[in-house]
Amino acid sequence: LRFAVRVVVLLSLLGLAAGGKLLVVPVDGSHWLSMLEVLDALRQRGRDVVVVAPEVSLHIKPSESFMMKMYPVPFTPEEMDENMQGFTKDLFEGGSFLERVIRLYQRSKKTSALYLATCTHLLHNRELIRYLEDSKFDAILTDPILPCGQILAEHLSVPSLFFLQQIPCGLEYQATQCPNPPSYVPRVFTGHTDHMTFLQRVRNVLYDIPNFFLCDAVFQPYAKLASEFLRRDVTVPGLLRQASVWLMKIDFVLHFPKPLMPNMVLVSGVNCASKKLGQ
């Protein structure tokens, strides 16, 4: 299974990275840990990989598998660690639907501010941007849960490949114009399956309403930043729509079946532990 998954990932990546140079703009945490395995495999096949990362991070560290270019950010490791632990706590803590939405909204604003500062300092680092412009990359690999990598892809005019599990508010559906019917695809916090009664479908629609407010709080500042940096009006869904391939870390064993677009490739198993799993 792991070999088959790796082949799918590499075929998807190498189609655009055949020229040799791949720029990676990662997201910290578990997002990075699963991406790291792909970068190791690419390096073994002779690809030149450059990772752009902030000086303060939880898991993104130098490696023999890639060249790392780092840039300063305006927060400490302690501030980042506290924020990450708080987000995990808020995400899994119980309570009513309204309590969970309000708690997640407040935490999302704090987390988004931290990551927005990271992206801002990357895009405003003139020396690093000049290096990226001169390096002539063939493609960018990034996690679109934060659109900073795609902003760079637009600036550098190179194809982008997304490596993700999901984006808050189901933004991947809007960006790819993928069908996302509330009568079929369960929403977060509902506890529904893909087989719902009529009343459950109504509830599914109502639970989707807060997503509009969450998305605005998280992604609107990136639209403003991208518009200033690219010197044209852009939206986050419009940016993400430019991706060539979406490598989705899901399958239909642990996730409910749902519609996909032709450029969405399932690569389940990349984020599993490197050991034999039980039955």
User: Tell me: the pLDDT tens digits for 163-195?
Assistant: 998 887 888 988 999 998 877 788 776 777 778
What are the residue ranges of helices labelled H in 93-181? 97-123, 126-135, 148-156, 171-176
Is residue 242 predicted with pLDDT exceeding 90? Answer: yes
In three-state secondary structure terms, 234 is: coil
User: Tell me: the pLDDT tens digits for 78-99?
Assistant: 877 777 776 667 666 777 767 7
For the chain, list the domains and their CATH numbers.
18-178+214-266 (3.40.50.2000)
Would you say 101 and 122 are in contact if contact means Cβ atoms under 8 Å apart? Answer: no
Is residue 226 predicted with pLDDT exceeding 90? Answer: yes
In three-state secondary structure terms, 185 is: coil
How many Å apart are CA 167 and CA 198, to the nearest integer?
27
Instruction: For residue 11, name the pLDDT band (cuts at 50, 70, 90).
Output: very low
Do the strands 48-54 and 160-164 form a parallel or antiparallel pair, or are they unpaired? Answer: unpaired
pLDDT, residue 114, reads 84
Alpha-carbon Rg for the chain, nearest whole angstrom, is 19
Is residue 17 predicted with pLDDT exceeding 50? Answer: no
Q: Looking at per-residue confidence, does 268 or 247 come out higher?
A: 247
- Host H or E run for residue 42: helix 30-44
How many Å apart are CA 204 and CA 192, to the nearest integer?
8
Beta strands in 47-159 (DSSP E): 48-54, 67-71, 139-142
How many Å apart are CA 87 and CA 106, to the nearest integer?
10
pLDDT mean across residues, the chain? 82
